[in-house]
Structure 1
Amino acid sequence: MVHTGTQDDSFQLYDLRIEVVCPPGKRIMCGAKEGDYFTLQGEMIYLPPNQGISIYSLATVIPLLPAKQRVTSPNDWMTTDALIACPDPNCPSQLKIIREGIRTFSHSETTVVPLHH
């Protein structure tokens, strides 16, 4: 099926901001600094200039991001739980997933697989 404009094939995803949280006075092992962040818009990750993120921290949070982008029930733990521990057991930092604005996407512009109704 080709998108003709007559069928609404839109869906929405939250933009996410993933921010580093560090307990004051604690030694941080992963190289993160309080307030470091990256954003996720659709499938694209954006880092501010001259800021990195540990691949191990990134690997820990990535599996949760597609679910956090989607609208969930207010009773679902995915809606309420936002802090992800650093994977280094000796590092007390966390990544906080913050839902920001909602962005609208088109099915036909994100995949070649047709919609079946």
Structure 2
Amino acid sequence: MTDAGGDMELYDLCVVVDRIEGRSVCGMRAGDRFTVTGSNELRIPGGGHFCMYALAAALPLLAAKQRALPPGDWLERDSEVACPDPDERLVMRIERTGTSRMNSADLT
């Protein structure tokens, strides 16, 4: 669906486990990741896994991080999100890795 001549541009994202400050009960480690490309394609590399609770914590931020935001917007400056498990204290970093151009008429 990526089109160099599209009328809109979204950032591609990589969500990386930056650190685990408690005990890892979900089997994840620093460096585990997933990517988001286009408007909605989520990929976990190499057949790995990603904790659904950590994923649920990051999901609400992804649509905003895919878009260019005003410089003063807190979400433009901040890139960390924490898993809700208080015993684990898993912290993820959302990185912008590139851009995808799309036709808005192709999306819902």
Report the TM range for the smaller structure's normalisation.
0.7 to 0.9
Q: Structure with the greater relative contact order (CA < 8 A, sep ≥ 6): 1 or 2?
A: 2
Letter of the structure 2 residue corresponding to residue 59 of structure 1: A
Which of 54, 63, 72 aligns to 1:75? It is 72
Residues 9 and 48 of structure 1, relative CA distance in 2, 3 Å threshold: closer
Letter of the structure 1 residue corresponding to residue 65 of structure 2: K
Larger Rg: 1
* Residues 1:30 and 2:43 are matched in the alignment: no
Residue number in structure 2 paired with 1:47: 44
Aligned equivalents of 1:23 and 1:49: distance in 2? 21
Identity %: 36
Aligned equivalents of 2:78 and 2:84: distance in 1? 17
Instruction: Name structure 2 gaps, 5 residues minimum.
Output: none
Instruction: Name structure 1 gaps, 5 residues minimum.
Output: 1-7, 112-117
RMSD: 1.7
What secondary structure sits across from 2:45 in the alignment? coil
Contact (CA 8 Å) 1:14, 1:100: kept in 2 or not? yes
What secondary structure sits across from 2:47 in the alignment? coil
Residue number in structure 1 paired with 2:59: 62
Aligned equivalents of 2:63 and 2:27: distance in 1? 25
Give structure 1 regions of 4+ aligned residues with deviation exceeding 4 angstroms: none
Name the TM-score, length of structure 2 as normaliser: 0.87
What secondary structure sits across from 1:49 in the alignment? helix
* Residues 1:101 and 2:64 are matched in the alignment: no
Name the TM-score, length of structure 1 as normaliser: 0.81
Which of 8, 17, 30 aligns to 2:14? It is 17
Work out the number of aligned pairs and report it: 103
